[in-house]
A and B are shown apart, each in its own frame.
Chain A
Amino acid sequence: MGNKQTIFTAQQLDAYQVSDHVYSILFYRYRDLAPQLVPLDYTNNPDVKLPYELIGSMPELKDNPFRQRIAEVFSEDGEGNMTLNDFLDMFSVLSEMAPRDLKAYYAFKIYDFNNDDFICKSDLEKTLNKLTRNELTEEEVRMVCEKVLDEADLDNDGRLSLDDFQHMILRAPEFLSTFHIRI
Chain B
Amino acid sequence: DEDSDDGTTRDLRAIPLPMALKRAVNFGGGVQSYFLFLRFLVVLNFFSFLLIAGFVIIPSIVFRSVGFIEYTYLFYGYYNNTMVEGMNFSYNIPLAYLSTAAFYLLFCLVCIIAMGTTARVVVATGDSSEGNYSMLVFTGWDFGSNGNQATKLKQQNIYYRLQVDLEEEMIKKKSSALTQRQKVCLYSARVVLFTLTLGFIGAALTGIFFATNFSQGLLYEYLPSIVITGANFIVPLLNDQIAPFEQYSPSVTVVLALLAVVLRLVSLVILLYTLWRQITCDETPDECALCCWETRVGQEMYKLTLFDLIVNIAVLMLVEFPRRMIVDNWHNKLTQWVGRQEFVVPYNVLGLVYGQTVVWTGAFFCPLLPLINTFKFIILFYTKRITLFSNCRPAVKTFRSTTSSFFFSGILLLGLTLASVVMIYSVAIHPSMACGPFRFLTSMWDVVPKSISKLSQTTREFLFFLGSQSFSIPLFVLSLILCYIVALATVYKKSVTLLKTQLKLDKQFLVRQIGRL
Q: Are A174 and B139 in contact (CB under 8 A)?
A: yes
Q: Does A151 lie within 8 Å of B512, measured CB to CB?
A: no
Interface residues contributed by chain A, number (CB under 8 Å): 43
Q: Are B140 and A127 in contact (CB under 8 A)?
A: no
- Chain A residues contacting B513 (CB-CB under 8 Å) are 155, 163
B138 touching A165, Cβ below 8 Å: yes
**Which single member of B134, B145, B148, B150 contacts A151 (CB below 8 Å)?**
B134
Among listed A13-21, A33-41, A63-71, A76-84, interface-contacting one = A63-71
Contact B134 A168 (CB under 8 A): yes
Within the complex, what minimum Cβ distance (angstroms) separates A30 from chain B? 19
CB nearest neighbor in B for A94: B143
Given known A-B contacts A131-B141, A143-B166, A60 and B146 have beta carbons under 8 A apart = yes
Q: Choose among A132, A171, A178, A182 the residue that contacts B505 (Cβ–Cβ < 8 A).
A: A171
B146 interface neighbour in A63, A136, A151, A178, Cβ under 8 Å: A63
Q: Are B130 and A151 in contact (CB under 8 A)?
A: yes
Q: A147 contacts B147, CB within 8 Å?
A: no
B509-A163 in contact (CB<8A): yes
What is the minimal beta-carbon distance from A26 to any residue of chain B, in angstroms? 16
Q: Which residue on chain A has the smallest CB distance to residue B131?
A: A151
CB-CB under 8 A from B158, the residues of chain A are: 131-132
> In the assembly, what is the distance between CA of A64 and CA of B509, in Å?
32
Interface check B3, CB cutoff 8 A: yes
User: Please, which residues of chain A bring their CB within 8 A of the CB of B146?
Assistant: 59-60, 63
Most B C-beta atoms less than 10 A away, residue of A111, A140, A155, A169: A140
A105 in the interface, Cβ–Cβ < 8 Å?
A: no
Question: Shortest beta-carbon distance, B136 to chain A, in Å?
Answer: 8
Q: Which residues of B contact A180 (CB under 8 A)?
A: 143-144
Q: Is there an interface contact between A178 and B151, defined as CB atoms closer than 8 Å?
A: no
Could you give, for residues 84-128 of chain A, a 1 whenever the CB lies within 8 Å of some chain B CB and a 0 otherwise?
000000000010000000000001000100000000000010011
Complex contact A178–B143 (CB within 8 A)? yes
Minimal beta-carbon separation of A46 from chain B (angstroms): 30
Q: Are B139 and A178 in contact (CB under 8 A)?
A: yes
Could you tell me which residues of chain B, from 151 to 168, have a CB within 8 Å of some CB in chain A? 151-152, 155-156, 158-159, 162-163, 166
Q: In the complex, are the beta carbons of B138 and A111 less than 8 A apart?
A: yes
Considering the chains assembled together, what is the distance between the CA atoms of A151 and B139 in angstroms?
14
How far is B134's CA from A124's CA once the two chains are assembled, in angstroms? Answer: 10
Bound-state Cα–Cα, A167 to B510, Å: 10
Q: Is B424's beta carbon under 8 Å from chain A?
A: no
Given contacts A163-B512, A168-B131, contact A148 B137 (CB under 8 A): yes
A154 contacts which chain B residues (CB < 8 A)? 509
A140-183 Cβ-contact flags toward B at 8 Å (1 or 0) = 10011001100110110000000101011111111101111110
Contact of B140 with A131 in the complex, beta carbons under 8 Å: yes
The verdict on A144 contacting B138 (CB below 8 Å), with A173-B3, A174-B3 known, is no
CA distance A128 to B138 in the complex (A): 9
Check if B3 sits within 8 Å of A127, measured CB to CB: no
In the bound complex, residues from chain A placing their C-beta under 8 Å from that of B509 are: 154, 163, 167
Q: Which of A94, A167, A178 lies in contact with B141, CB distance below 8 A?
A: A178
Interface assignment of B421: CB less than 8 Å from any CB of chain A: no
| B245 contacts partner chain A, Cβ-Cβ < 8 Å | no
Give the residues in chain B near A133, CB-CB below 8 Å. 152, 155-156, 159
B134/A131 in contact, CB under 8 A: no
- CB pair B502–A171 under 8 Å, yes or no, is yes
Residue interface bits A44-66, CB-to-B below 8 A is 1, else 0: 00000000000000011001111
CA distance A147 to B130 in the complex (A): 10
Q: Which of A132, A168, A177 contacts B138 (CB 8 A)?
A: A168
Residues from chain B with Cβ under 8 Å of A147 in the complex: 132-134
B169 within 8 A of A: yes
Residues of A close to B259: CB separation below 8 A: none
Q: Is the CB of A143 within 8 A of B169?
A: yes
B142 CB-CB contact with A under 8 Å: yes
Known pairs A65-B151, A111-B138, A140-B162; A181 contacts B144 (CB<8 A): yes
CB neighbours (8 Å) of A172 from chain B are 131, 135, 138-139
**Are A132 and B139 in contact, CB atoms less than 8 angstroms apart?**
no
Question: Which of A63, A167, A171 is in CB contact (< 8 Å) with B148?
Answer: A63
A-B contact pairs, 8 of them (CB 8 A): A65-B155, A131-B141, A148-B134, A152-B131, A167-B506, A168-B135, A170-B505, A178-B142
* Beyond A63-B145, A127-B138, A167-B505, 8 additional pairs, beta carbon < 8 A: A66-B141, A127-B137, A131-B141, A133-B159, A147-B134, A148-B137, A174-B139, A182-B144
